[in-house]
Chain A
Amino acid sequence: MAILSVENLTKYFGGLAAVYELSFHIQAREILGLIGPNGAGKTTVFNLVTGIFPPSRGKVFFNDEDITGRKPYEINEKGIARIFQSTRHFPNFTVRDNLIAGRHCRTRAGFWSAVFNNNLAQYERRQSEERAQEILQFLELQPYQNELARNIPQAMQRRLDIGIALATDPKLILLDEPAAGMNPEETYQLMMLIKKIQEQKISVFLIEHVMQMIMDICERIIVLNYGKKIAEGIPEVIQNDPGVIEAYLGSEDFDRVRIE
């Protein structure tokens, strides 16, 4: 069953079609890759799905529910979480507080609960704390839990970004170049982590420039160029698609990128 379906999604910025007539779907528990040259419109697709801005045309369905044009916090609450291309979290919060902030949409205590610190507020506080501890353990971030997020190593900050996304209990997680700025060892660890996320019955939609990672972990891949889908299929097919090689490099040494 498709967890996310996108139909004829189009976004114009002025006269430029950043995304044009794009349709695809993500199956439950699938890892879907999204690749394409710089400026192909990959991040715009993420922004459209998560409601950062509305599409000019087209529809987005999540679990068969139309979520086109909904606000980011509504979409997040429905179960789509994302991480951003640049490291993004709350640098002045501790690592643990960042994760607890991610629990916001799964807790309900309102103004009066807060003022009287009633059972609901206390219960939810314990729950959030427990979930944060689980995620700290899952991501092996416990040693940093009381550090300010801005003081921990870059690779750990990327992990924290994923942790906050996981704290919102998503069904689908969108990862925008999670391996950016990582060394091969850290990239490998990240790949293992994404596999572990998939094992938790979470679908993954991945933008990445590290081809080895894309080819190794994605079940299917979509290739964008100038906002249009130029290929879709399993990694082996994409690797040998002449259109993709042409678009990606304008030459024939696709292998070089793959090995890199």
Chain B
Amino acid sequence: MHSLPIKIFAWFGAGLFLIALPFFLKEYPLHLVNISGIWIILALSLGLLQGYVGEISIGHAAFYGIGAYTSVLLTMKGGLSFWLSLPISALVTMGFGFLIGSVSLRLRGPYFAICTLGFGEIIRLIFVNWREMTGGPDGITGIPSPHPIPIPFSQTITFTSKQANYFLIYGFVFLTIFVIYRLIHSRLGKAFMAVREDQVYAECIGVNAMRYKRLAFTVSTFFAGVGGCLYAHYEHFISPYSFTVAQSFDLVIMVIVGGMGTIIGPIIGAILLTLVPELLHAIRDYRLVIYGLMLMMVIIYLPHGLAGIWHGISARFSKSS
């Protein structure tokens, strides 16, 4: 009976904490928080596909890259405002996602994963070799910050500070959470999970499996595009090395370690895998070894990821009470 006020109190506290956070953190920790935010968007978007539809894509970083490069070209060569290039670059990424998804989602399981790996590599090679547009391996520098928003009778909101970018990035984190939450709690989410559990059976009870897999992939690539655009204008520099297979694998690991089939899982995974290598500089060279070990441990001992620990505890708690 006490649970409702406590819940409201907890949400209120969490909200206050998130609003106050950027004003207490120093430059570098805040930078890490912002980068985590971008990875949260990416991991959540991949988590929709991986956790709810049950297909692992190893090409997600390529879509992240498409979003970044599209927005940079639109603002720097096309002269567009960031606020226009953001939706356009996300939509362009989504268009690529639709096309590639339509082809590759005909395959399933490991074959789909290998296919996305291939598409990811093709896109990365385009970033490296299309020098006139992408600057080749040197990347593109001097990317502008998001353009200031004028407010009548007052100053403008500028996005040069880390604080302002914090609110911008986490605004999109919440948008991503909101859309994915609503999606998986609708009939579409049921259809995604039905396909994950048993595709042939799902089709026999009226679920057009291909259509829903493609929908999930398209939505997933849309948010990858948003993440890429935010990243480019936050870091002011992009190069093909930010969008390689290694980043794609990082994302897959984030979702698995955090917990597949949950929303909190990819968030935990993204924060953990962004902060840990930064905080423990000494182990940075052994990053992949540690990730490999971590992945094995999680798969063996925590099949539901870190989010599964919490679910396990709360289930035990509610049973005993």
Binding site for B on A (CB under 8 A): 50, 52, 71-73, 76-77, 81-82, 84, 88-93, 97, 100-107, 109-111, 113-117, 121, 124-125, 128, 164-165, 167-168
Q: Which residue of the partner chain, among A71, A88, A107, contacts B208 with CB atoms under 8 Å?
A: A71
Alpha-carbon separation in the docked complex, A107 to B209 (Å): 15
Listed A/B pairs (30) with beta-carbon separation below 8 Å:
A72-B200, A76-B204, A76-B205, A82-B204, A84-B201, A91-B197, A97-B190, A100-B190, A101-B191, A101-B202, A101-B205, A101-B207, A102-B206, A104-B190, A104-B191, A105-B205, A106-B206, A109-B186, A109-B187, A110-B188, A111-B183, A114-B183, A114-B186, A114-B188, A114-B189, A115-B179, A115-B182, A117-B182, A164-B205, A167-B205
Which residues of chain A come closer than 8 Å to B27, judged between CB atoms?
none
Contact with A along B204-222 (1 / 0, CB 8 A): 1111110000010001000
Residue contact A71 to B203, C-beta cutoff 8 Å: yes
Which residue of A has the minimal Cβ distance to B219? Answer: A111
Question: Within 8 Å of chain A (Cβ to Cβ): is B140?
Answer: no
Given contacts A50-B204, A72-B203, A115-B179, list 18 more A-B pairs with CB under 8 A: A52-B200, A73-B203, A73-B209, A84-B204, A90-B193, A90-B194, A92-B197, A101-B191, A101-B207, A104-B187, A104-B191, A104-B205, A104-B206, A110-B188, A113-B186, A114-B182, A115-B178, A115-B183
Which residue of B has the minimal Cβ distance to A72? Answer: B203
Question: Within 8 Å of chain A (Cβ to Cβ): is B198?
Answer: yes
Of B200, B205, B209, most buried by chain A (CB within 10 Å of CB) is B205
Which residues of chain B come closer than 8 Å to A165, judged between CB atoms?
205
Question: What is the size, in residues, of chain B's interface with A at 8 Å between Cβ atoms?
Answer: 26
A62 to chain B, nearest CB (A): 14
B96 to chain A, nearest CB (A): 18
Residue contact B205 to A81, C-beta cutoff 8 Å: yes
Which residues of chain B come closer than 8 Å to A115, judged between CB atoms?
178-179, 182-183
Which residues of chain B come closer than 8 Å to A71, judged between CB atoms?
203, 208
Considering the complex of A and B, which 10 residue pairs feature the smallest CB-CB distances, nearest first? A105-B206, A114-B186, A76-B206, A72-B203, A90-B197, A73-B208, A73-B203, A72-B204, A115-B182, A73-B206
A51 to chain B, nearest CB (A): 8
Alpha-carbon separation in the docked complex, A88 to B178 (Å): 33
Which residues of chain A come closer than 8 Å to B208, judged between CB atoms?
71, 73
Alpha-carbon separation in the docked complex, A73 to B202 (Å): 8
Q: Which residue of the partner chain, among B203, B205, B215, contacts A111 with CB atoms under 8 Å?
A: B215
Alpha-carbon separation in the docked complex, A76 to B200 (Å): 12
Q: Which residue of the partner chain, among B186, B191, B206, contacts A121 with CB atoms under 8 Å?
A: B186
B185 to chain A, nearest CB (A): 8
Residue contact A107 to B204, C-beta cutoff 8 Å: no
B156 to chain A, nearest CB (A): 31
Alpha-carbon separation in the docked complex, A106 to B188 (Å): 13
Which residues of chain B come closer than 8 Å to A110, judged between CB atoms?
188
Alpha-carbon separation in the docked complex, A77 to B182 (Å): 25
Alpha-carbon separation in the docked complex, A127 to B266 (Å): 33
Of A72, A103, A124, most buried by chain B (CB within 10 Å of CB) is A72
Alpha-carbon separation in the docked complex, A164 to B204 (Å): 10
Of B182, B194, B206, B207, most buried by chain A (CB within 10 Å of CB) is B206
Alpha-carbon separation in the docked complex, A234 to B186 (Å): 47
Residue contact A88 to B198, C-beta cutoff 8 Å: yes
Which residues of chain A come closer than 8 Å to B197, judged between CB atoms?
90-93
Which residue of B has the minimal Cβ distance to A83? Answer: B204
Take A90-B197, A93-B197, A101-B194 as given contacts and tell me if A114 and B187 are in contact as well, using a CB distance cutoff of 8 Å: yes
Which residues of chain A come closer than 8 Å to B198, judged between CB atoms?
88, 90
Residue contact A168 to B194, C-beta cutoff 8 Å: no
Which residue of A has the minimal Cβ distance to B189? Answer: A114
Alpha-carbon separation in the docked complex, A39 to B197 (Å): 28
Residue contact A89 to B203, C-beta cutoff 8 Å: no
Of A93, A105, A114, A165, most buried by chain B (CB within 10 Å of CB) is A114
Residue contact A168 to B203, C-beta cutoff 8 Å: no
Alpha-carbon separation in the docked complex, A125 to B179 (Å): 18
A77 to chain B, nearest CB (A): 5
Alpha-carbon separation in the docked complex, A110 to B219 (Å): 13
Alpha-carbon separation in the docked complex, A93 to B52 (Å): 13
Take A93-B193, A109-B186, A115-B183 as given contacts and tell me if A73 and B207 are in contact as well, using a CB distance cutoff of 8 Å: yes
Which residues of chain B come closer than 8 Å to A82, judged between CB atoms?
204
Which residues of chain A come closer than 8 Å to B215, judged between CB atoms?
111
B106 to chain A, nearest CB (A): 14
Q: Which residue of the partner chain, among B183, B189, B205, contacts A168 with CB atoms under 8 Å?
A: B205
Alpha-carbon separation in the docked complex, A95 to B205 (Å): 15
Which residue of A has the minimal Cβ distance to B211? Answer: A73
Alpha-carbon separation in the docked complex, A84 to B200 (Å): 11
Alpha-carbon separation in the docked complex, A117 to B187 (Å): 11
Contact with A along B8-22 (1 / 0, CB 8 A): 000000000000000
Alpha-carbon separation in the docked complex, A104 to B188 (Å): 9
